[in-house]
Amino acid sequence: MAIKVCKFGGTSMADGNIIKSVKKIIESDPERKYIVVSAPGKRYSGDTKVTDLLYACYKSLTENGVCAAGFAPVRARFESLVRELNMNIDIDDVLDATEKRIDEEKSEDFTASRGEYLCAWVVSKVLGAKFIDSENVVYFKENGKLDGERTYKAIKEACADCELAVFPGFYGQDINGKVKTFSRGGSDISGAIVARAMQASLYENWTDVSGFLACDPRIVDSPKPIKKLSYKELRELSYMGANVLHSDSIFPVRKANIPIQIKNTFRPQDEGTSILPSSRYMPAGNTVTGVAGKKNFTVIFIEKSLMNAEIGFIAKVLEVLARENISVEHIPSGIDTMSLVIASEQLTDFKLQRIIEGIQTEVSPDTVRIIENIALIATVGQGMSSSVGTSARLFNAIAAANINIKMIDQGSSEMNIIVGVKNDDYEKCIRAIYSEFFTSAPCE
């Protein structure tokens, strides 16, 4: 029988009643055998996610020496969730043991991981399924990357004797045997890892929207859903800020060609989005698949006559950044100019000053200019390379909205064009691009 791995996100775990609908979804398809869950998310706008409560709990532990005060709201959240389930599940011992271990471990990652741990424990009781603690099956290497070989083997072994299993997402074990989390939103990666380990025919990612939308629904009202997306497009869009799926979740499934289906827990009848290996994907005819973006970048603009003829120029500039341990997002360049686009959170004033001085010493440029508070917006589509005039349409739409473009970078894959605009123009620019490519033409 084909196997599906299903990951349910935070809003799908928010309270006991929603977990009852999740149970129905799982039980309606016998192929749904391996379940990965996030920590309970927000129940209403203004509510706090359990993971955020846990980060605050860790802070209170460092301040008070014990976590009791910070753990109280987490305890209350799980107690009410279990009450709503009406299922005679006794969670008190597990909560007590968790609180005790948080005090002993004194680790931020360990504390943050307990939302997924407790949630998976509850869901395993609800489903009558085996609980497999990711601490014992997901392994990180010394460099912090996933130890795929060891992890896939351990997951397979743990699942050998079970029909239905539940895993907590978001964490695993480092080389010192300590719990380590992925970055925020990382349960999507855990789901992909279990899918790869179990050679699933499909990785279903259940969330609170009916699939990947052509842009962020918090910026444009009801954007069009995207029915099909290639792995490559997914990577570009999610990396650039479409956080419906963690941008790293693609890696475990890509090697095994496992498709991903994004589904809505609250509207399971909706088709959602299929994310397919690029070889099985045909662009649907529309040039642009989606638009995504992120705020808060700094651009270092460097100008020097005959820069292009100077051997090793770029290497010397990048060496200055490497010395400061700074990663560069994009490097658009011309014959006499280059720009370095850097996430501002990496740069303190002091570091920026040292970088500018380093560049001046190493390559003696004519000008070095800093442009701060830049938002990057990526317009993505595998069909873009074969359609004429896309960039003209894009730039005209942005100009018509009276937005000044500070930087342009066309990816060498020709499946994206990235523009840099002022942070303040970010939402307006996304709306202008969306309206140019999606409101007149039908979206597949």
- Tell me which of 41, 115, 172, 365 binds ligand ADP, using CB under 6 A: 41
- Tokens 């789901």 — which residue? 191
Q: Which does 313 bind (CB under 5 to 8 A by kind): Mg ion, ligand ASP, ligand ADP, none?
A: none
- The minimum distance between CB 185 and Mg ion, in angstroms, equals 4
Interaction between residue 172 and ligand ASP (CB under 6 A) = no
Residue number, 147 or 216, with CB nearest to ligand ADP:
216
For residues 375 and 267, the answer to whether their CB atoms sit within 8 Å is: no
CA distance 217 to 423: 18
Q: Is 170 in the site for ligand ASP (CB under 6 A)?
A: yes
Gap between the terminal Cα atoms of the chain:
31
Is 39 among the residues that bind ligand ASP (CB under 6 A)? yes
* Residue spans of beta strands (DSSP E) within 84-201: 130-131, 165-168, 171-173, 179-181
The region of 9-17, 88-96, 248-256, 419-427 touching ligand ADP under the rule CB under 6 A is: 9-17
Closer Cβ to ligand ASP, 249 or 273, answer by number:
249
Asked if 270 interacts with ligand ADP (CB under 6 A), we say no
Q: How far is the CB of 242 from ligand ASP (least distance, A)?
A: 15
Q: 42 to 61, contacts with ligand ASP by CB under 6 A?
A: 49, 51
* 397 residue type, one letter: A
Return d(Cα 338, Cα 141) in angstroms, integer: 36
- Rule CB under 6 A: is residue 252 a binding residue for ligand ASP? no
The answer to the question of residue 247 lying near ligand ASP (CB under 6 A) is: no
| Among the listed residues 184, 227, 304, 316, the single contact to ligand ASP using CB under 6 A | 184
How many residues touch ligand ASP under the rule CB under 6 A: the total is 13
169 scored as a contact of ligand ADP (CB under 6 A): no
State whether residue 263 is helix, strand or coil: strand
Could you say which residues in the range 234-263 bind ligand ADP, by CB under 6 A? 242-244
Q: How many CA atoms lie within 13 A of 236 on its CB side?
A: 26
Contact status, residue 299 vs residue 340, Cβ threshold 8 Å: yes
Question: Among 121, 212, 301, 426, which residue sits at the site for ligand ADP (rule: CB under 6 A)?
Answer: 212
Nearer to ligand ASP, 248 or 436 (CB): 248
User: Which strand ranges, in their side-by-side order, compose the sheet holding 202-207?
Assistant: 130-131, 165-168, 32-37, 4-8, 202-207, 260-264, 273-276, 228-230
Instruction: State the DSSP string of 18-71.
Output: HHHHHHHHHHT-TTEEEEEEPPP--SSTT---HHHHHHHHHHHHHHHSS-HHHH
Cβ-based nearer residue to ligand ADP, 272 or 365: 272
CB closer to ligand ADP out of 243 and 296: 243
Tell me if 39 sits within 8 A of 112, measured CB to CB: no
Q: Which is nearer to Mg ion, 8 or 434 (CB)?
A: 8
Residues β-bridged to residue 237: none
38 is a contact residue toward ligand ASP (CB under 6 A)? yes
Q: With left for phi above 0 and alpha for psi between -120 and 50, is residue 274 left, alpha or beta?
A: beta
Residues at the contact surface with Mg ion, assessed by CB under 5 A = 9, 185
Residues at the contact surface with ligand ADP, assessed by CB under 6 A = 9-11, 38, 41, 185, 207-209, 212-213, 215-218, 242-244
